[in-house]
Amino acid sequence: MTQIKNIGLFTSGGDAPGMNAAIRAVVRSAIYYGLNVTGIRRGYEGMITGDIFAMNIKSVSNIIQRGGTILKTARCEQFRTPAGRKTAFENLKKHNIDALVAIGGDGTFTGARIFADEFDFPIVGLPGTIDNDLCGTDFTIGYDTAINTVIDAVDKIRDTAESHNRLFIVEVMGRDSGLIALRTGIAAGAETILIPESKTDINAVFERLENGRKDKTSKIIMLAENGIAGDAFEVGRQIKERFPHYDTRVSILGHIQRGGAPSCMDRVLASRVGVAAVEALMAGRRNEMIGLIHNEIAYTPFELAIKHNTDINPDFLKIVEILAI
Ligand code: ATP
């Protein structure tokens, strides 16, 4: 096993609050253990264009509390091609990078796995996505902050909904995953939750509204984007058609869910897995995502980590039903 001397570090895919805390943890722990760290800007794109620079202790001063990523992030089509990956490999060699820490989601790890196989390159990954849709970790970096941002916004929506006796359809992020909608729906006291995993269609929503208490002065329906019942405006239109007496409004929370200072939970998660990533590389581990399962560091091969987690705890949906009476 060759000794690792210089770790290349990048963030890739959608940004998530807590990525900076993870960057800080990797840089500081690598330096602590006597290794060099080299930053790569804009993920795989910077690897191909050569946007690569040496990092030191001060490069990560005063960033643990900041949202976004100081390394920037991007989606890079060229990395999907063998020629793009070859250029990336040559640039890493030019900068004497002999291992990588990738912070991102399933797409990032898919690319990492292919690259690691092609060039026999040591890579470990940290789960950085607000969607919480990776296997091999109870929570991803950014999820806790995102759901707290959603709750903060929905509490405000509830105030105005209550004042006007309105029904709000609130759409949250999660391209293929309803995990943001599921948890925030419970925490916001939603009437019902529409998520791709539960296959709930619009008829279930109608039923809930039909049979629900008539004296409620506000109602919230939580919806994950790309839901099977259509987008929030379509759901709103259908509800209005069926229940013309409801004063309905749609609110799409959008990119505020990606921003903001990371929560304490996200900072601690990022710090723990960041340190573990450096220690894992030093111990000869590779091609694995490092997460936390039951509060312990867990190593999951990339090919398993990227399997989209569609297991929804049925208790969660039952809780919504029970508590919405
Ligand atoms: P998020 O879950 O927040 O969207 P992500 O890591 O899944 O994050 P993607 O845009 O899906 O984000 O992937 C990030 C990048 O990983 C892509 O832009 C591309 O450069 C690389 N990538 C994804 N899939 C592949 C693949 N099959 N082969 C090579 N590279 C890939």
Minimum CA distance residue for ligand 1 atom 24: 107
Handedness of CA 194, 200, 206, 210 (dihedral sign): negative
Averaged pLDDT score across all residues of the chain:
94
* Residue 309, pLDDT score: 65
268 C-alpha to center of ligand 1: Å? Answer: 25
Residue ranges matching CATH 3.40.50.460 in the chain: 145-258
Q: In this model, does residue 187 exceed pLDDT 90?
A: yes
Residue with tokens 């839901």: 227
Pocket of ligand 1 (CB under 6 A): 12-14, 44, 75-76, 79-80, 104-108, 110-111, 114, 129, 131
Q: Judge contact between 115 and 90, C-beta under 8 A.
A: no
pLDDT at 60 over 80: yes
pLDDT of 323 over the 80 cut: yes
Residue 26 has pLDDT above 70, yes or no: yes
CATH class label, 145-258:
alpha beta
Q: How confident is the model at residue 222 (pLDDT cuts 50, 70, 90)?
A: very high
Distances (CA, A) of 261 to 148, 156, 163, 181, 266: 11, 19, 30, 20, 10
DSSP run (H or E) holding 266: helix 264-282
- Amino acid residing at 163: S
Residue 278 and residue 8 in contact, taking contact as beta carbons nearer than 8 Å? no
Give pLDDT, residue 216. 83
Whether residue 37 has pLDDT greater than 80: yes
Atom of ligand 1 nearest to the CA of 131: 2
216 residue type, one letter: K
Q: Specify the ligand 1 atom closest to the Cα of 133.
A: 2
The residue nearest atom 17 of ligand 1, judged by CA position, is 75
User: Atom 30 of ligand 1 has which residue's CA nearest to it?
Assistant: 111
Paired with 102 in beta bridges are 10, 125
Tell me which fold the domain 6-142+262-305 belongs to. Answer: Rossmann fold (3.40.50)
Rounded distance from Cα 304 to ligand 1 centre (Å) = 16
131 is annotated as an active-site residue: yes
User: Ligand 1 centre from 106 Cα, in Å?
Assistant: 7
Query: Helix 143-164 and helix 179-187: axis angle, to 10°?
Result: 50
Residues 6+ apart with CB under 8 A from 113: 287, 302, 303, 306
Which residue of the set 131, 133, 144, 266 is catalytic? 131
Question: Could you give the CA distance from residue 4 to residue 34 in angstroms, rounded to a whole number?
Answer: 10
194 forms beta bridges with 223
Query: Residue 275 Cα, ligand 1 centroid: separation in angstroms?
Result: 24
Rounded CA separation 309/212 (Å) = 32
Please tell me the distance from the alpha carbon of residue 210 to that of residue 213, in angstroms, as a whole number: 8
Q: Which atom of ligand 1 is nearest to the CA of 78?
A: 20
- b/e per residue, 58-80, with b = 16+ CB within 10 A? ebbeebbebbbbbbbbbebeebe
According to CATH, where is 3.40.50.450 located in the chain?
6-142+262-305
Residue 211, pLDDT score:
82
Q: What's the rounded Cα separation, in Å, for the pair 157 and 165?
A: 12
Residue-wise pLDDT tens digits, 95-151: 999 999 999 999 999 999 999 999 999 999 999 999 999 999 999 999 999 999 999
